[in-house]
Amino acid sequence: MSLLLLKSTVGKKEEKSIDDLIRELGVDFKDRSLLDKALLHRSYSTEYSISKDNERLEFLGDSLLNASVTIMLYKLFPEKDEGDLTKIKAKLVSRKSLKKWGEKLGLENYIKLGTRAKKFYNKRNSRILEDTMEAVIGAIYLDSGFEMVNKFIRNYMRERDFHKITDFKSSLQEYTVKKFNQIPEYIILSETGPAHKKIFKVEVIINNKSYGKGKGYSKKNAQQEAAKEAYSQLAD
């Protein structure tokens, strides 16, 4: 068991252990001291005269996050140019994205801060949370390698609403026009539920073959989900 029992963290008052965080991460650690280090803010290390903090891991994690997302987007969007890919990547690796990721994991409950830093910690000024998220990525790499980093990042990205980041219908159409000289056809399979909250199920057909299905509270959202599935299949 790690020595990290978090009476000195910035989050809830109840005590949490490193095991709780590992379960949230979905990544086991062979060397848990790496994760301990990723959670050590410089203010804590300074106050308690500890010779380590998470800043080097943060530097490493930032580079790994960018590399992993870049590779993912390069494979997923073969028809997009450098400018489009750069815009999508910027949103996925932004401070806002890191903040949401850290909040989802409850990471603030595990960060170790010095007394003064803890006193002035503010969720709206979440730089510490975002930096720690990068440090955790760095720790995963040192413990388990780049493939585990990719898996960890992909698991999170799958939960993001990609249609809010990019238009899959447009991407799919660009792809199919180039490859098949055809525009995708969207067929409504069903409409269920009350009039004020209908659920639409849609199928996308290309070359007389079904490539994806989706559902949503509007036809547009259902089509985006179907296009997302079809595009992922074709890009693979």
Confidence of residue 4 (pLDDT cuts 50, 70, 90): very low
Q: What is the pLDDT of residue 3?
A: 40
| Residues carrying CATH 3.30.160.20, the chain | 168-235
Helices (H), the chain: 18-25, 32-38, 42-47, 55-76, 82-92, 95-105, 115-119, 127-144, 146-159, 168-180, 219-235
Flag whether pLDDT at 83 surpasses 90.
Answer: no
pTM above 0.85, yes or no: no
Tokens of 100: 């949401």
Q: What is the pLDDT of residue 1?
A: 36
- Please state, in angstroms and as integers, the Cα–Cα distance from residue 215 to each residue in 23, 81, 198, 222, following that order: 31, 29, 10, 4
Confidence of residue 11 (pLDDT cuts 50, 70, 90): very low
Flag whether pLDDT at 209 surpasses 60.
Answer: yes
Q: What is the pLDDT of residue 125?
A: 61
For 214-225, write each residue's pLDDT tens digit.
Answer: 998 889 889 988
- ∠ CA 147-152-156 to the nearest 5 degrees? 140
Flag whether pLDDT at 129 surpasses 70.
Answer: yes
Confidence of residue 12 (pLDDT cuts 50, 70, 90): very low
The per-residue pLDDT of the chain, averaged, comes to 86
CATH of the domain spanning 168-235, picked from 3.30.160.20, 3.90.550.10, 3.40.50.150, 3.30.70.890: 3.30.160.20
| Residues carrying CATH 1.10.1520.10, the chain | 18-160
Contact 16, 110 (CB under 8 A): yes
Distance CA 72, CA 187 (A): 29
Domain 18-160, second-level architecture: Orthogonal Bundle (1.10)
State the catalytic residues: 62, 134
Q: What is the pLDDT of residue 27?
A: 93
Q: Which residue has the higher pLDDT, 62 or 160?
A: 62
Q: Which residue has the higher pLDDT, 122 or 212?
A: 212
